[in-house]
């Protein structure tokens, strides 16, 4: 469990972990796969979220998955993926944060992900929380903890010896 001092400092500017949907590159599940290739190439990210027509989050599309698909075809040519849609290649099992989310979940889930999509209770896509934004807060925490709080070591307990255990 995260202590109060750390939680306070980490969440001081919690809104900054979050990048709202209007600033997040994303594609529709029904888009042609080469559209996703174009978007990923333009924005320079290795993966972005995928939504359906109701703006519900349905998955994530990875550049490497598109390249894999191209390699599985006869010739590596972006035109060869014309026949596929984003939904044919996207990952469907993706970790998500449900709004309102807790910093503890964010820290756990970001160990294995570069970013986390945020959805509401109806699974509508709201935006993302990125590792970069969280690391900025961790950096602030590292610098401010001992400025704002008195931190002293907890006295180590003397380990039980065999004799004290027996008696």
- Check if the beta carbon of residue 85 is closer than 8 Å to that of residue 33: yes
Judged by CB under 6 A, the chain residues 23 through 62 that form the site for ligand AMP are: 23-25, 45-48
Coil vs helix vs strand at 125: strand
Give yes or no for residue 136 binding ligand AMP (CB under 6 A).
no
- Work out whether 19 is an interface residue with ligand AMP (CB under 6 A): yes
The contact mask relative to ligand AMP for 105-134 (x = CB under 6 A, - = no) is ---------xx------------x-xxx--
Question: CA-to-CA distance for 23 and 18, rounded, in angstroms?
Answer: 10
10 within 8 A of 66, measured Cβ to Cβ: no
Are 19 and 130 a contacting pair, CB within 8 Å?
A: yes
Minimum CB separation from ligand AMP for residue 66, in Å? 14
> 101 or 115, CB closer to ligand AMP?
115
Number of residues engaging ligand AMP in binding (CB under 6 A)? 14
Distances (CA, A) of 31 to 24, 89, 146: 17, 11, 50
Q: Which of 153, 136, 126 is nearest to 55 (CA)?
A: 126
150 makes contact with ligand AMP (CB under 6 A)? no
- Contact call for residue 83 and ligand AMP (CB under 6 A): no
Q: Which residues bind ligand AMP (CB under 6 A)?
A: 19, 23-25, 45-48, 114-115, 128, 130-132
């Amino acid at each position: 469990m995260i202590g109060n001092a750390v939680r306070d400092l980490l969440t001081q500017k919690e809104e900054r972990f979050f990048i709202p949907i209007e600033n997040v590159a994303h594609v529709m599940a029904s888009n042609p796969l080469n559209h996703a290739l174009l978007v990923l190439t333009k924005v320079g990210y290795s993966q972005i979220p995928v939504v359906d027509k109701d703006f519900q989050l349905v998955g994530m599309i990875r550049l490497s998955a598109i390249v894999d698909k191209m390699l599985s075809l006869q010739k590596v040519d972006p035109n060869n993926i014309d026949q596929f849609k984003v939904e044919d290649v996207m990952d469907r099992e993706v970790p998500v944060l449900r709004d309102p989310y807790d910093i503890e979940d964010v820290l756990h889930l970001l160990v294995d992900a570069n970013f986390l999509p945020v959805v509401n209770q109806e699974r509508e896509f709201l935006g993302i929380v990125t590792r970069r934004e969280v690391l900025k807060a961790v950096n602030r925490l590292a610098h401010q903890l001992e400025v704002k709080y008195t931190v002293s070591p907890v006295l180590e307990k003397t380990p039980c010896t065999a004799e004290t255990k027996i008696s």
